[in-house]
């Protein structure tokens, strides 16, 4: 009888333990990666493509087991291309327990949130922010793209090579750090070249009716041989359309900020022949990129653009770093010490400040396609 | 004072709890079946709603396409009639206002065969813009282009739809908030909603407009993936870590997907509440059952254990322990009470038996006493007779007879002085008989060996035989040696008692044989040995004299008094 009681007692305790185990263990907690970018409004093409690329890279990692058995979860926060909103978005991701943040997508937003990232020691891995103001700092910001100084220099070289004598630079102050930096680089690079340069800043936030602005610039300054547009895809497309509508027949140059499918679609024949300097070739024959492109098309129905590729690269760096991270070390130190990562189109190599230098190519829009200009 | 309970009632209560537990288990199974049924019903409801919703949404979307085609016809007709500069006639303006101001389109664009904008409403400054790289530019007459969400030139996310009427391309950029109004009426429950995704799985309508703005793609949802492959689907799926139940249906001709779903926990909220109550009930019943079983076991086992101990002690003669059993169930209390009564009666009867035994002991003691007294009288009478006899040989015969009577008297005296009235220690007999015999000499007596209790049946013949051997040892062993030694050894081996009598005298003649002995003593010894069913061996002692070894089977004393 006493044995039965003891057995009943053991069964009861066992039952209670099983219930407790069932209640307490509901699988491993996922690793949260944040994504901070503008996914709404007129600048959203950058953020949407970057998010999709990061999302797919994470889904592919999760399908192959995640990070040491833990699934990776992408937490999204929209910076609306507004510094205050970007700071709120950063704090939202921090509260969500993000171990690193993919983003921001633009230099202005990166500069807005960087002090908070430095304070929280929460690593920002930007796919596209390229301002030199973010360079060579021992901070909590790294990027998988090169600094834009080289972009400005390349564009200057192309302009000189085509024999232009006059140049208009339309640049949007809404991403001031990037656009002013590019304008300055162009000016410096073309100094002494004999090319007359007219800088035409505008703010897309204040007004997007550029008709009068373009007309006035052409009327007052005369029609230039070449125009560089430093703006988002929508604004760059509008400016190109207006320039062509107003009779501009010279060469057009753009920056990575507008090198998206939305620009090609919206600029129409006005964008034909526009030249970019970039380091990411969407027609690359890299097997890894081709495979990723196929998967991206299957997942989102469209071909990935360079931003999607960079978003994926940033996510790959973050996940590889998390996989290699050991207790007592930071993710930033782990990534910097690892130095080399296999990106979608080849190796990414970080310096001690988390800067990544990549070879640039000359791209041209030809028949509605972005192709490497031989 | 603890209230007594009935074991029957307790068992009934315990069984009742078990029955309740079983009922709860059955209820849980029913609940599970009911849950499955509810989920099935919810899926069917959502499926029917998705069917109807997708049909209606298709009608609405087709109607906007018809409007665009109509606009294209009127636009072309007005251009043909009024010339290239007359594209802003009142008719066109009214038509465009209808399409745009009703909130369906953000912008309507008319383009020529080169995809250059001829007219746009409300953004007239788009005229002259090139639409060449837009996928909708390649729309052929009779085709309907249904595009993907993307930014338009005003920086808004729109969904372009295009038709061509002859050489006029009409592009309408659908407003996402208008698409949302199409599915708003399909919302279900607290957490239920309807959403629509395009052919690639990119959201085109969702209650959370920011998700549409950000072109979120939901093709990874199992229910959407299945609908894209099969045309329709239903089931439970995970969205952002939350389980939802719903049904999806492809909108014919558009390839879009309408998904109607709600949170699973919301769908099962009533059942969840019941399950929670059920779980609480099962836990409560389990605890109640466990506690009642513990109490019942304690109330049964402890008294039963004490009852067992009490009965065991009773078997050892302690009749008090049973009275100390604590109160338990009525049935066990009755059992303990009956046992206590039985113990009391057995104790009373035992007391009477003890009394009877005591009385019989007194009687037996008195009998032995009187026998001993009578024998002493006989001995005294023989002694008196002996004192009148002059002939020493005759006198010796009388003296021997007197000694033999005294030996028997001694046995009876020892018996009534013994505790049990049934047995005498053999060593005591030996010491008494040999001590009395050797007393007249200066010889020494050594009695060694085991302790043997002899019963009356063996004590009398044994004592008489030893008396003869003692007389013989003293007579012959100490006749000419006053410092003689006599040693009596007693050995009990198994069921056999062996008494060895040795002396330090001159020893037996070589031809000695008790059978041929003329003396009465040896004859008596032989007769008594036979009576004891024993044997008598003689020989030379290690003391140098004679040695007699009397062996006989040991018998337990006939009466054993445990008192």
What is the per-residue pLDDT for A362?
93
Q: Is B112 on the interface with A (CB under 8 A)?
A: no
Shortest distance, CA A39 to any CA of chain B (angstroms): 5
- This complex has an ipTM of 0.84
Which of A8, A42, A271 has the CB atom closest to B155's CB atom?
Answer: A42
The two tokens of residue A186 are 């162009």
Q: Do B200 and A301 touch (CB under 8 A)?
A: yes
What is the per-residue pLDDT for A296?
96
Give, in degrees to the nearest 5, the angle at Cα A48 between A318 and B182.
140
Chain A residues within an 8 Å CB radius of B125: 209, 211
Pick from A70, A71, A205, A241 the residue to mutate for testing the B interface (most B CBs within 10 Å): A241
Q: Do A48 and B128 touch (CB under 8 A)?
A: no
What is the per-residue pLDDT for A16?
47
Chain A residues within an 8 Å CB radius of B154: 208, 234
Do the beta carbons of residue B306 and residue B52 sit within 8 Å?
A: no
The pLDDT tens digits of the residues spanning A140-161 come to 999 999 888 889 999 999 999 9
Indicate the burial class of A199 (C-beta count within 10 angstroms; 0-12, 13-18, 19 or more). middle
**% of chain A with per-residue pLDDT over 70:** 93
What is the per-residue pLDDT for B322?
67
What is the per-residue pLDDT for A293?
96
Q: Which residue has the higher pLDDT, A38 or B87?
A: A38
Q: Do B297 and A265 touch (CB under 8 A)?
A: no
Residue A202 confidence class, pLDDT cut points 50, 70, 90: very high
Kindly identify which residue of chain A lies nearest to residue B240, measuring between CA atoms: A73
Give, for all 563 residues of chain B, the pLDDT tens digit.
Answer: 455 667 777 777 778 878 888 888 888 888 888 888 888 888 898 999 999 999 999 998 998 899 899 888 888 887 776 554 444 467 677 777 778 888 889 999 999 999 999 888 887 788 899 999 999 999 999 899 998 888 898 888 899 999 999 889 999 999 988 888 888 877 677 778 899 999 999 999 998 888 998 999 999 899 999 999 999 999 999 887 788 999 999 998 899 999 999 888 887 877 777 778 878 877 887 788 778 777 777 777 777 787 788 788 878 877 776 666 666 777 778 887 888 888 888 888 888 998 888 888 888 888 888 888 998 999 898 988 888 888 888 888 888 888 888 888 888 888 788 777 778 889 988 998 888 888 878 888 999 999 999 888 888 899 889 988 988 888 888 877 767 889 999 999 988 999 999 998 888 888 888 888 777 888 889 999 999 999 999 999 888 889 999 999 988 876 544 43
Chain B, window 264-323: residues with a beta carbon less than 8 angstroms from a chain A beta carbon: 286, 290, 293-294, 297, 300-301
Alpha helices by DSSP H, B388-492: 392-417, 426-438, 456-472
User: pTM for the whole thing?
Assistant: 0.67
What is the residue whose two structure tokens read 């009470």? B337
Q: Do A268 and B132 touch (CB under 8 A)?
A: yes
Q: Do B214 and A269 touch (CB under 8 A)?
A: no
Pick from A19, A30, A40 the residue to mutate for testing the B interface (most B CBs within 10 Å): A40
Q: Do A47 and B200 touch (CB under 8 A)?
A: no
Q: Is B3 on the interface with A (CB under 8 A)?
A: no
Chain A residues within an 8 Å CB radius of B129: 241, 245, 268, 270
Q: Is B129 on the interface with A (CB under 8 A)?
A: yes
The pLDDT tens digits of the residues spanning A302-355 come to 999 999 999 999 999 999 999 999 999 999 999 999 999 999 998 899 999 998
Indicate the burial class of B299 (C-beta count within 10 angstroms; 0-12, 13-18, 19 or more). buried
Q: Do B154 and A76 touch (CB under 8 A)?
A: no
Q: Do A40 and B150 touch (CB under 8 A)?
A: no
What is the per-residue pLDDT for B5?
67
Do the beta carbons of residue A230 and residue A169 sit within 8 Å?
A: yes
Size of interface A-B (CB pairs under 8 A): 112
The CB-side HSE value for A275 (13 A sphere, CA atoms) comes to: 23
Terminal-to-terminal C-alpha distance of chain A: 93
Report, in this order, helix, strand and coil percent for chain B, each rounded to 5: 55, 20, 25
- Give the residue from A92, A32, A56 showing the smallest Cα distance to A302: A56
Shortest distance, CA A266 to any CA of chain B (angstroms): 7
Shortest distance, CA A210 to any CA of chain B (angstroms): 10
Residue A366 confidence class, pLDDT cut points 50, 70, 90: very high
Q: Do A42 and B202 touch (CB under 8 A)?
A: no
As a three-state string, the secondary structure of B286-345 is HHHHHHHHHHHHHHHHHHHHHHHHHHHHHHCCCCCHHHHCCCCEHHHHHHHHHHHHHHHH
Q: Do B301 and A76 touch (CB under 8 A)?
A: no
Report, in this order, helix, strand and coil percent for chain A, each rounded to 5: 50, 20, 30
Residue A25 confidence class, pLDDT cut points 50, 70, 90: very low
Q: Do B133 and A302 touch (CB under 8 A)?
A: no
Q: Do A264 and B133 touch (CB under 8 A)?
A: yes
Q: Do A48 and B215 touch (CB under 8 A)?
A: yes
What is the per-residue pLDDT for A15?
45
Shortest distance, CA A352 to any CA of chain B (angstroms): 35
Give helix A331-338 / helix A306-324 axis angle, nearest 10°.
Answer: 100
Q: Is B202 on the interface with A (CB under 8 A)?
A: yes
Q: Do A245 and B129 touch (CB under 8 A)?
A: yes
Q: Do B153 and A8 touch (CB under 8 A)?
A: no
Chain B residues within an 8 Å CB radius of A208: 154-155
Q: Which residue has the higher pLDDT, A263 or B10?
A: A263
CA pair distance B336, A215, nearest whole angstrom = 117
Q: Do B151 and A78 touch (CB under 8 A)?
A: no
DSSP B185-214: TT--TTT-EEEEE-TTSBEEE-SSHHHHHT
Chain B residues within an 8 Å CB radius of A209: 125
Kindly identify which residue of chain B lies nearest to residue A46, measuring between CA atoms: B214
What is the per-residue pLDDT for B559?
53
Give, in degrees to the nearest 5, the angle at Cα B337 between B335 and B338.
65
Partner residues linked to B175 by β-bridges:
B158
Strand order in the sheet with A251-254: A196-202, A166-172, A226-230, A251-254, A275-278, A361-366, A369-372
Chain B residues within an 8 Å CB radius of A37: none
Which of B115, B151, B155 has the CB atom closest to A268's CB atom?
Answer: B115
Which of B129, B157, B290 has the CB atom closest to A268's CB atom?
Answer: B129
Pick from B153, B211, B282 the residue to mutate for testing the A interface (most A CBs within 10 Å): B153
Shortest distance, CA B138 to any CA of chain A (angstroms): 13
CA pair distance B406, B380, nearest whole angstrom = 9
Which of A41, A59, A272 has the CB atom closest to B155's CB atom?
Answer: A41
Give, in degrees to the nearest 5, the angle at Cα A218 between A216 and A222.
130
């Amino acid at each position: 009888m006493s044995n039965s009681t003891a057995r009943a007692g053991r069964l009861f305790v066992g039952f209670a333990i099983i219930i407790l185990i069932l209640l307490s263990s509901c699988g491993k907690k996922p690793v949260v990666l944040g994504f901070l970018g503008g996914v709404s409004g007129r600048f959203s093409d950058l953020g949407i493509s970057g998010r999709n690329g990061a999302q797919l890279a994470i889904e592919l990692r999760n399908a192959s087991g995640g990070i040491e058995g833990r699934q990776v979860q992408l937490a999204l926060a929209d910076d609306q291309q507004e510094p205050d909103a970007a700071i709120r978005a950063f704090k939202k991701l921090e509260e969500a327990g993000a171990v690193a943040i993919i983003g921001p997508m633009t230099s202005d937003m990166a500069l807005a949130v960087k002090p908070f990232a430095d304070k929280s020691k929460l690593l920002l891995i930007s796919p596209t922010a390229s301002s030199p103001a973010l360079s060579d700092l021992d901070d909590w910001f790294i990027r998988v793209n090169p600094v834009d100084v080289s972009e400005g220099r390349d564009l200057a070289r192309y302009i000189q090579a085509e024999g232009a004598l006059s140049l208009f630079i339309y640049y949007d102050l809404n991403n001031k750090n990037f656009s002013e930096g590019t304008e300055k680089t162009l000016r410096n690079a073309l100094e002494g070249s004999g090319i007359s340069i007219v800088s035409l800043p505008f703010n897309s936030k204040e007004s997007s009716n550029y008709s009068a602005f373009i007309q006035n610039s052409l009327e007052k300054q005369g029609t230039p041989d070449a125009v560089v547009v430093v703006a988002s895809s929508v604004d760059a497309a509008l400016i190109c359309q207006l320039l062509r509508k107003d009779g501009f027949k010279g060469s057009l140059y753009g920056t990575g900020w507008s090198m998206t499918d939305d620009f090609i679609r919206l600029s129409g024949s006005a964008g034909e022949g526009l030249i970019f300097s970039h380091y990411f070739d969407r027609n690359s024959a890299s097997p890894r990129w081709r495979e990723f492109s196929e998967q991206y098309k299957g997942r989102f129905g469209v071909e990935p653009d360079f931003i999607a590729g960079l978003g994926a690269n940033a996510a790959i760096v973050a996940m590889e770093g998390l996989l290699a991270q050991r207790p007592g070390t930071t993710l930033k130190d782990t990534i910097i010490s690892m130095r080399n990562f296999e990106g979608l189109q080849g190796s990414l190599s970080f310096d001690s400040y988390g800067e990544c230098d990549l070879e640039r190519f000359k791209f041209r829009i030809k028949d509605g396609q972005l192709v490497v200009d031989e | 004072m603890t209230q007594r309970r009935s074991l029957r009632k307790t068992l009934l209560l315990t069984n009742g709890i078990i029955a309740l537990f079983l009922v709860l288990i059955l209820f849980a199974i029913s609940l599970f079946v009911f849950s499955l049924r509810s989920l099935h019903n919810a899926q069917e409801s959502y499926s029917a709603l998705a069917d109807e919703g997708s049909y209606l949404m298709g009608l609405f979307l087709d109607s906007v396409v018809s409007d665009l085609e109509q606009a294209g016809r009127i636009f072309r007709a007005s251009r043909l009639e009024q010339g290239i500069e007359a594209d802003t006639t009142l008719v066109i303006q009214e038509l465009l206002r209808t399409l745009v101001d009703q909130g369906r389109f953000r912008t309507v664009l008319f383009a020529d065969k080169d995809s250059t904008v001829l007219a746009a409403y409300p953004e007239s400054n788009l005229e002259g813009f090139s639409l060449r790289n837009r996928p909708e530019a390649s729309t052929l007459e009779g085709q309907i282009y249904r595009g993907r969400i993307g930014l338009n030139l005003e920086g808004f996310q729109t969904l372009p739809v295009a038709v061509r009427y002859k050489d006029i391309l009409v592009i309408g950029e659908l407003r996402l908030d208008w698409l949302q109004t199409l599915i708003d009426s399909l919302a279900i429950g607290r957490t239920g909603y309807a959403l629509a995704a395009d052919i690639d799985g990119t959201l085109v309508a969702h209650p959370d407009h920011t998700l549409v703005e950000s072109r979120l793609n939901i093709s990874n949802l199992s229910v959407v993936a299945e609908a894209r492959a099969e045309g329709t689907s239903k089931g439970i799926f995970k969205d952002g870590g939350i389980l939802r139940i719903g049904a999806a249906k492809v909108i014919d001709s558009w390839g879009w997907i309408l998904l109607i779903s709600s949170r699973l926990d919301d769908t099962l909220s009533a059942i969840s509440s019941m399950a929670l109550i059920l779980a609480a009930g099962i836990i409560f019943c389990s605890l109640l059952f466990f506690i009642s079983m513990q109490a019942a076991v304690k109330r049964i086992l402890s008294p039963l254990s004490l009852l067992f101990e009490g009965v065991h002690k009773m078997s050892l003669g302690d009749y008090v322990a049973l009275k100390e059993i604590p109160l338990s169930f009525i049935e066990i209390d009755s059992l303990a009470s009956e046992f206590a009564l039985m113990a009391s009666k057995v104790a009373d009867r035992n007391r009477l038996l003890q009394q009877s035994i005591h009385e019989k002991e007194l009687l037996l003691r008195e009998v032995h006493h009187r026998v001993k007294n009578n024998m002493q009288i006989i001995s005294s009478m023989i002694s008196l007779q002996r004192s009148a006899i002059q002939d020493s040989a005759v006198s010796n015969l009388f003296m021997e007879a007197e000694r033999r009577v005294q030996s028997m008297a001694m046995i009876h005296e020892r018996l009534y002085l013994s505790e049990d009235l049934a047995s005498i220690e053999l060593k005591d007999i030996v010491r008494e008989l040999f001590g009395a015999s050797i007393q007249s000499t200066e010889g020494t007596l050594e009695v060694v060996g085991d302790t043997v209790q002899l019963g009356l049946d063996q004590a009398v013949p044994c004592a008489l035989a030893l008396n003869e051997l003692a007389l013989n040892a003293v007579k012959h062993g100490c006749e000419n040696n006053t410092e003689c030694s006599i040693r009596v050894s007693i050995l009990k081996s198994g069921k056999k008692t062996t008494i060895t009598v040795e002396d330090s005298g001159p020893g037996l003649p070589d031809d000695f044989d008790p059978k041929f002995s003329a003396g009465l003593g040896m004859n008596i010894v032989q007769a008594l040995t036979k009576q004891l069913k024993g044997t008598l061996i003689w020989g030379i002692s290690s003391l140098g004299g004679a040695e007699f070894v009397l062996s006989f089977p040991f018998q337990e004393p006939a009466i054993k008094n445990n008192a």
